[in-house]
Each structure stands twice: as C-alpha cells, then as structure tokens.
Chains A and B, each alone.
Chain A
C-alpha cells in the first residue's frame, strides 16, 4: 500500500470511526439518562460540580 492510500484510509476510517463511536456513545448516554432519571431527593442533594484540570 502506498503512503497516500494509507493516509486516505486512515483519514476516512479514522474520522468516520471517531464520529460513529462517539455517536453510539451519545445515544447510549441518552438511553442511560432515560433508564435512570434523576429523582427529586437526588436533585436536592446533587453536589455542585467543579471543573478540574
């Protein structure tokens, strides 16, 4: 395989694979939120989140 075929393969599979994987994760996370919704008492005790480095 010449280097341009290699580069284009990496580009197509890499970008496509990254979008696909994160898309799947995004859907799964949405399903998780629906399966385990935030309950009233939990919302009250939810600790304040702090961004970390």
Chain B
C-alpha cells in the first residue's frame, strides 16, 4: 500500500523532477512564452498571433505535458492545418476579403514598388547560405523578408518544418516592428527635397468590372508563370473576388471574421507548440532572428532606392518614401510612409499612394515566394 502511494506521488513529482534535472531549456522557453504574452497583451504587438503563440509555447514547455506527442492537442492542430498548409491558406482568403486593391488599380504602375520591396528576400537568401544553412532552409528563412506571415508559414511548413517556430515568430514580430525599422532607413536614403515631394490626390477611375476582373487576371497570370504559388495567390484572390462581387456577403464576412479568427487561434497555438525548448534553443534560432531583421531592412533599402529611381524618371513627381511601402506589411508600412511624409511637410498626404504600393507589396510577396518555389521545382529540389 505504502509503495503504491509513493509510486503515485512520484507521478505527481515527475514534472518538477524533470524541470530540475534536464529542464533548463523548458524554463527558458516558459520565460520566452511569458515574454510573447507580455508583448501581445501589454505592448499590443500583433496580439492576435502572439497571445496564442505565447500560450502554446508555455503549454508545450511544461515538462511531460505530451501536447505535441502523437494524439496530443497541439500535435492534432499542427497536423490538421500546418503540416498540410491549410491554415495559412484559409487566412489568405480572409486577407483577400479584407484588402481593398482600389488604390493599386488607380495607378497600376505602382505595382512595381511591390517587386522592389521583395529584393531583400533574395539578398537574405544569399546571406543565409553564407551562414551555412542548407538551400531549402535558406529559402524558408529568406521569405521572412516578404513581411507576410502566412506566406512565411506556408513555405517554412512545407520545406523547413523544423524551423517553423522561429520563422513564424520572427515574421510576425518584425512585421510589428516595421514602424521602428523603416524610418531611419527612409531618412538616411532620401534628401530633404525628395521627402517633401507632393503626389496630389488620386482620382477615382476604376470601374466595377475592372475590380472584378483583377483577382481573376492576377490568379491566371501568376498561376501560369509560377504554378507552385497558386495556392497562395488563388486563396487571396478568391477572398478579394468575393469582396468585390458583393453577392456573397455572408461568405466574405465569415472569411474575414469567424474563419480568420478561428484559424488564427489554431495557427498560433500550433506554432507555439513547435517551440519546445530542446528543439528551439539553438544558435540557428538566433541567426534566423538576425536574418529576418536584415531581410526587412534590405527590403526597405531596395524599395526606397527604387522610389528614388522612379522619382528621377518621373521628373520629381514621385515621392521616393512610398518605396518603403512596397513590402507586404499592410497597412502598417503605408501608415509609416504617411507619418514620415507629414513629418517633413504637414500638408503632404501620401497615404493612398502608399496604400497602392503596400497592396502591390502584398501581391509582390506572394509572387516572389511563388517564383522561388517554382524555380526550386524547376531545379528538381522540391
């Protein structure tokens, strides 16, 4: 009897015993989970993602919790929506339903800013290779530079699932830090004269037919050029087509609210579940965070540099600051451009132009990822 009581008590103490014997990584990750919760709740940094990620991280690092073992709750969520790429794609339907591509359609040439804003991805790929990451891992890390959480998760979950946790956290953390990362680069690369260029108001010139045809045309063109990225582009454009059609308001509403909310919760928890201490705490994780920062900084450099080129080519009619909005962090980057523009000229309204470049960045980030995947496929690497 006494023996069975002692055996039962040892079961209760097993977790604490583990924590003191080999649980240092778990303790560190419990603190990391707490840090993510603090950032989400107190600092309001991407709370919709960081709160479930932080909680999932805490859950999986409580010793012997078995949540990521076969049949565990977090493992089930992971298998249900990340291992098979479903969750990021469902979120993309919601993003498409929420996004107004009107400012981009008013001035289609601004779409090229969305291409310039992706150059950092490819430069970061070279840096990741230089640091010794294998090819597919380097690609997944570089996609942090897309400033596009679902795309980064999609690529990482398929081609570097072992890096999914750090890549996801880095992608969403840096997206929230865009207002801190971009302004010093924008200032350093532009002259006082360039920063006060006024671009005038945008005249409404887009018909309903054009708005309706836009998602179909984008899906067809990008699907033909880079078919490996079709799930990404197809879902974002499905959401946008539903929005613009106006005939499926219930589906549009569900996509941008109920579905997006539920999937965000599951996605965050499952990503948190990949952050088990012994697997997460490696030098590679620090390198990924460093490369993510570099990727977004390089995107901004390339975007503003392209803005300067367009400014020169247009005879000074384009404010180069809007190049910084060519990344996918929507609408954060557009707001940063508006704030920086008004910092140097209080009557300068760049928001709609920047919103056009920013939605171009959303399309551009998906196109860049799609092209990378299709090139990898062409090389026979996936």
Number of interface residues of A (CB under 8 A): 40
Expressed in whole angstroms, the Cα–Cα distance for A1 and B375 within the complex equals 14
Whether the pair B371, A18 counts as a contact (CB closer than 8 A) is yes
Known contacts A18-B118, A21-B221; A37 and B334 CB within 8 A of each other = no
Expressed in whole angstroms, the Cα–Cα distance for A19 and B303 within the complex equals 12
Majority SS of interface residues in chain B? helix
Pick the contact of B206 from A22, A28, A33, A50 — CB < 8 Å?
A33
Expressed in whole angstroms, the Cα–Cα distance for A26 and B126 within the complex equals 28
- Residues of the B chain whose Cβ atoms lie less than 8 Å from the Cβ of A18: 115, 118, 364, 367-368, 371
- Residues of the B chain whose Cβ atoms lie less than 8 Å from the Cβ of A25: 108, 111, 217-218, 221-222, 363
Whether the pair A51, B355 counts as a contact (CB closer than 8 A) is yes
- Residues of the B chain whose Cβ atoms lie less than 8 Å from the Cβ of A6: 129, 135, 379
Expressed in whole angstroms, the Cα–Cα distance for A52 and B302 within the complex equals 25
Pick the interface stretch among B20-28, B30-38, B208-216: B208-216
**Chain B positions 197-251 with a Cβ under 8 Å from a chain A Cβ:** 204-210, 213-214, 217-218, 221-222, 225-226
Expressed in whole angstroms, the Cα–Cα distance for A26 and B225 within the complex equals 15
Interface centre among A25, A36, A50 (most CB of B within 10 A): A25
Expressed in whole angstroms, the Cα–Cα distance for A19 and B367 within the complex equals 9
Sample of 16 more A-B contacts, CB < 8 Å, known A14-B371, A21-B222, A30-B108: A6-B135, A6-B379, A9-B375, A14-B121, A14-B372, A14-B375, A22-B360, A22-B363, A24-B221, A29-B104, A32-B209, A32-B214, A38-B207, A50-B100, A51-B330, A52-B100
Interface pairs A-B: 3 shortest CB-CB = A52-B98, A29-B108, A36-B209
